[in-house]
Structure 1
Amino acid sequence: MSGQSAQAPWSFLGPNNDGGAAPPGPEVPALPVIKDITVSPDKIVAVADVIEEQARALERKITEHIGALSVPPPADDIVSQESADVWNTVISGGEDSYRNRVLAYVRGLQNLADQLRAAGRRYASDDEDNAAAIRDAGGR
């Protein structure tokens, strides 16, 4: 040996850690506390309106500008023609085209807006039912 003491493989844990008790670990965060959430049905409908408005705007943009992304073949050779055809298919013509992906995203946003409106109606109905139950219980 060269006079140096061999270090244990766990020496990276810090000085004077000779394999005894493990050093204290990081503090574990506390679990979040469950709280009541107040849901305002009219706010849910307002969010649905914003989402639907943005979906319509996106659909208008893609419809207006998709033609500008199509390219004619730059020359009459086979490579130019095939390249342009493939590009146009990827952008707007194929089943899995970018245009169809964006339109599927728009449909998803519209579905989300519909789901939010339905949730707003359910919350409003539940609120009315709960209020009626409280009135009935208080009247006895």
Structure 2
Amino acid sequence: MTQESAGADAALSAVAAVTGGAVGAAISAFHSASNFLDGLMSGPSTQSFHVNKDNVLKAGTIIQDQAKALRRALVSAQHDLRVYVDGNSAGEVSANIAGLWNRRLTTDDDSYTGRIEKYVESLEHLGLQLKESAKQYGFTDEEITTVFGKTK
């Protein structure tokens, strides 16, 4: 967690302490969910598997498919991840809280969206490494293009 995110979390906690009621309950729920997601996202980030000539194309297919599916899901969900405030009924505290939530969820360097984006990029990089391995194993350009697509 960056200092900026820690500051946002501290501000949310301060607002929860002052406001109490529904806003305080919402902030507490957000903190619980945030802590849970932090635990999920900070789990083991690397796994190893053995790639050889017999499985490099299959591994490439799996990695490429997962990266594409996750990127599509992230793009389609980004609008729904933002917290919006109705300007007619929201007070300044609600607008501030929405801003803090949005930073934590979508815009901070270590936001959940940012972390997922970095994970997708790591999958895409792994796909490129598998493509290079397939070339070294002697697969034809057609076989490699079928799995990994055309070179840009």
What is the distance in 1 between the residues matched to 2:104 and 2:91?
20
Query: Which portions of structure 1, spanning 4 or more consecutive aligned residues, are displaced by more than 6 angstroms?
Result: none
Query: In the alignment, is residue 62 of structure 1 matched against residue 74 of structure 2?
Result: yes
Q: Give how far 1:96 is off.
A: 2.1
1:26 maps to what in 2?
none
After superposition, give the CA deviation of every residue in 1:116-137 in whole Å (9 maximum; x if it has no partner): 1211221228xxxxxxxxxxxx
Match of 2:118 in 1: 104
* One of 121, 128, 149 as aligned partner of 1:114: 128
Show the counterpart of 1:47: 59
TM-score (norm 2): 0.51
**Percentage identity across paired residues of the two chains:** 27
Asked if 1:81 corresponds to 2:81, the answer is no
Separation in structure 2 between the aligned mates of residue 49 and residue 99 of structure 1, nearest angstrom: 24
1:90 aligns with 2:104: yes
Partner residue in 1 for 2:9: none
> What CA RMSD, in Å, does the superposition of the two structures yield over aligned residues?
2.3
**For residues 103 and 92 of structure 1, what CA distance do their matches in structure 2 show?**
10
TM-score of the two chains, using structure 1 as the length reference: 0.55
For 1:59, give the aligned amino acid.
R
Give the number of equivalent residue pairs.
88
- Of 129, 132, 137, which aligns to 1:123? 137
State how far apart, in whole Å, the 1-side matches of 2:52 and 2:70 are. 28
